[in-house]
Amino acid sequence: MYISIPVAVTIYILVGMVTVTLVPQALTSHPHVALKDAASLMMQPYGLAQLGAVGLALSALFSTGSAINATLFSSAHFAKGLLSDDLLPDQIGSSGTDGIPERTVLVLGAITGAFPWFGGLGAITSFASLSFILVFGAMSYLAFRQRDHDEVNALIPAIGTVGVLAFCPLMMYNLYTREPNTFYIVLGIAVVVLAVELLYFERDIIEAEVTEFEPDPGVIDESN
């Protein structure tokens, strides 16, 4: 992890610098294929412009497919754990199957395919980024609340919490001013996800688990 993350960041920076240098106009006119244009331009002096474009397109295809595959199966594996704890409806899949439940993979695949069909690529990307940021902020806040434990360093989760609180409004404002359509689609997706969580998740089981750790307000603490 300590090696792969800096290497990946370095590659992204170099690719960005090369793309901006070679095809700056493509970033504004057709940004989704700017890398393909950069690869084609780099190979043009050798008479292999078409080969460079095809090679880059295939690399993007396999990279995207790998990312979708990893996300799909990791999500299905996580969903199986939720099914085992009775936190998801049984209609989504069976927790007793070996490996990942096929029905769960199909359900997640159908949802994944529906999101870009109705929401658009920009909205899906923005919503995914916002979701990751919010989850990271929530985990940082929960860790900060446990700062009285010796194994928890309060500084790191505090920085994460403050960073998320500062970044989320900036991201939403940027979407609202520069991409209003994406902004409203992101809000719509968020409403749909929240509605599904509130309406269809088996909340009685969650509530029963939570009450085990919460004191009964009607019980008087005799120690006081």
Place of tokens 């936190």: 87
C-alpha pair distances (Å), 221 with each of 30, 115, 212, 224: 66, 50, 17, 6
State the average pLDDT over residues 89-109: 82
pLDDT digits (tens, 9 = 90+) for 104-159: 888 888 877 777 776 666 677 777 788 888 889 999 999 998 888 878 788 889 99
Place of tokens 């295939």: 58
Distance CA 175, CA 189 (A): 14
pLDDT digits (tens, 9 = 90+) for 162-194: 999 998 888 888 888 887 887 887 788 778 878
Say what percent of the chain tops pLDDT 70: 87
Cβ burial 6-33 (10 Å sphere, 16+ → b, else e): eeeeeeeeeeeeebeebbeebeeeeeeb
pLDDT bracket for residue 10 (50, 70, 90):
very high
- pTM for this predicted structure: 0.56
Q: Is the pLDDT of residue 7 over 90?
A: yes
pLDDT bracket for residue 6 (50, 70, 90):
very high
Specify the DSSP class assigned to residue 91.
G
Q: Is the pLDDT of residue 57 over 80?
A: yes
Q: Is the pLDDT of residue 223 over 70?
A: no
